[in-house]
Structure 1
């Protein structure tokens, strides 16, 4: 089927800067009036392995042992051959999500709100009982899983969001989001040279700062992995295979930063991180299905052969910075 030009909601301001759409479904999980109830087997997390926002929720779900509590639906890395931006369940039998019975993620958004006009985004939590979207707040979702979902964490689950560090974690997460997580998209989706170069400089200035920060400590807050590391990992893992070329974020690759590269390998080799990272899907999406690519590039249908990702398994020696083999602060 021939692809048609997709209708993309406008997320670029008059100067050419990319402005990401806001989340419409942000009700938190908890036990306060109006909160979403925390119940095992009631919800389904929809994601695509290509998406960094969704990936970090899947990492936390795995690390905390919530796989049997919140089910997972996986969309294809390829955009469907339709005239809008959407996610499709073409990986499933008959191209239908087996729990929700939908072909496209937009279907559940429209079922929840017939007037919904934004992009149907992942991650998104679906209340299977009510058959509706209840939360697509990618910025806070990992925090909900780390706190409100505590009663369902596996035995000795790590504390990724320790209470005494939450204010500092939140502050760093905000910086990482604007300058790195969303920073690569600001480069790739910029519609003016000025907007692109401004975003490019902010991105690499921040990566330089993080490189220095990680020169004396194993993780962003010292000896143990926190929520901030999950968020940074999701972008770093995609950087060399996608953002460097597809988004023109090409001053340096992550392998060119000694500390960031060792840090990335350390996390990749941690259960929940590397085993949920699908480099092939990431390359397919950003190089073959990316709507900012030219029509000529799409028609060539050529998937880059590199880079070589086998080196993600090479020794990192980061444990020498902490003097510890373990990477998580375990609940007492």
Structure 2
């Protein structure tokens, strides 16, 4: 699944390959440098120094976009958005005037990777955080990055920011994240890129067994861990929001649509309608990425017109379970200028 450019054909959060048994395997060797309050890796937290490069198409990058907004870090950590598609070399900044990121001045994210690691051979992935003064990538370790926004950037959180990774719940959050990543976040890919019928069947069963487990867990509680939104909810949401537009058909995850799983559908709508979640989602970019880039699965590159998105705005009734979305905090303010999703790419277009 790798070409001679060193970039995975299915690249979004790491290189991939299919093992001899037909099972999809994700390369999880990331740049492990951390940006911390004490700067122990050489990169201290500093307002304005770093740029988060993401794509609204990518579920792993979308986590960072959501968490940055929930914590109120927009004025501290700038956001560069790559387009929804990429070629064999790299994600590109084709959404920006002249095809260049206006802060980094580069056309391809690959340039920031090569600035630090000439000839970098692993996947050129989003999300990535780039050191603006040097133009060098600092990290693409998406799982660690989101936790560090919650724990290392606290001096710059908005005053009423939620606690997305509270110490007293970290053990439980970590365990939920582990099984959700294995069976759901990565599980849909294990279905979509399986190289044998047997590998696909195993991945399919694990995925829907875990979705059933999540449905049972969420039937009596509003959020995955505790009584407010945590990192665990963010990580599950970015897969659920892509389920019907992409994973159900494109990745053959077709036992049921999300809209046919009552508990998870209500849970996903609850989060979507919470400020910081749905206002970061671009359904058109999501579909374009998967159906255009994955030519090994969709050779024609045809992007489906559906599904109908209007149901995302229907009442969800989850308030009856109690809980407070932001705990003792408050919702984030309006979306920053220049970061709004085009209304025609959202359920609001149907209103």
TM-score, normalized by the shorter chain, greater than 0.5: yes
Distance verdict in 2 for CA 1:19–1:49, change over 3 Å: same
Residue aligned with 2:271, SS: helix
Tell me the distance in 2 between the aligned counterparts of 1:167 and 1:49. 29
Q: Deviation of residue 288 (structure 1)?
A: 2.3
Instruction: Answer yes or no: is the 8 Å Cα contact 1:124–1:133 preserved in 2.
Output: yes
Tell me the distance in 2 between the aligned counterparts of 1:69 and 1:7. 32
Tell me the distance in 2 between the aligned counterparts of 1:240 and 1:85. 29
Distance verdict in 2 for CA 1:283–1:224, change over 3 Å: same
Q: Deviation of residue 32 (structure 1)?
A: 5.8
Of 28, 38, 46 in structure 1, the residue corresponding to residue 34 of structure 2 is: 28
Instruction: Answer yes or no: is the 8 Å Cα contact 1:160–1:329 preserved in 2.
Output: no
Instruction: Answer yes or no: is the 8 Å Cα contact 2:291–2:298 preserved in 1.
Output: no
Structure 2 residues without counterparts, runs of 5 or longer: 10-14, 331-351
**Aligned match of 2:345:** none
Q: Deviation of residue 7 (structure 1)?
A: 6.7
Residue aligned with 1:73, SS: strand
Q: Deviation of residue 33 (structure 1)?
A: 2.9
Distance verdict in 2 for CA 1:318–1:33, change over 3 Å: same
Of 16, 19, 22 in structure 2, the residue corresponding to residue 16 of structure 1 is: 22
Residue 99, structure 1, aligned to residue 106, structure 2? no
Residue aligned with 1:76, SS: coil
Instruction: Answer yes or no: is the 8 Å Cα contact 1:23–1:136 preserved in 2.
Output: no
User: What is the TM-score with the length of structure 1 in the denominator?
Assistant: 0.92
**Aligned match of 2:308:** 308
**Aligned match of 2:260:** 256
**Aligned match of 1:216:** 220
Residue 58, structure 1, aligned to residue 56, structure 2? no
User: What is the TM-score with the length of structure 2 in the denominator?
Assistant: 0.87
Q: Deviation of residue 76 (structure 1)?
A: 0.8
Q: Deviation of residue 320 (structure 1)?
A: 0.1
Encode CA deviations 1:131-169: one digit per residue, 9 max, x unaligned: 111111111111100110000000111101111000110
Residue aligned with 1:209, SS: helix
Distance verdict in 2 for CA 1:7–1:226, change over 3 Å: closer
Structure 1 residues without counterparts, runs of 5 or longer: none
**Aligned match of 1:317:** 317
**RMSD of aligned residue pairs (Cα, Å):** 1.8
Q: Deviation of residue 330 (structure 1)?
A: 2.7
Q: Deviation of residue 118 (structure 1)?
A: 1.3
Encode CA deviations 1:240-291: one digit per residue, 9 max, x unaligned: 0001111111111111111100000000001110000000111111122324
**Aligned match of 2:191:** 187
Instruction: Answer yes or no: is the 8 Å Cα contact 2:83–2:95 preserved in 1.
Output: yes
Of 20, 44, 51 in structure 2, the residue corresponding to residue 44 of structure 1 is: 51
Q: Structure 1 segments of 4 or more deviating over 3 A?
A: 5-10
**Aligned match of 2:327:** 329
Distance verdict in 2 for CA 1:318–1:239, change over 3 Å: same
Tell me the distance in 2 between the aligned counterparts of 1:187 and 1:71. 35
Instruction: Answer yes or no: is the 8 Å Cα contact 2:39–2:45 preserved in 1.
Output: no
Encode CA deviations 1:176-215: one digit per residue, 9 max, x unaligned: 1111001111111111111111111100000000011111
Tell me the distance in 2 between the aligned counterparts of 1:7 and 1:188. 15
Instruction: Answer yes or no: is the 8 Å Cα contact 1:7–1:85 preserved in 2.
Output: no
Tell me the distance in 2 between the aligned counterparts of 1:139 and 1:226. 14
**Aligned match of 1:278:** 282
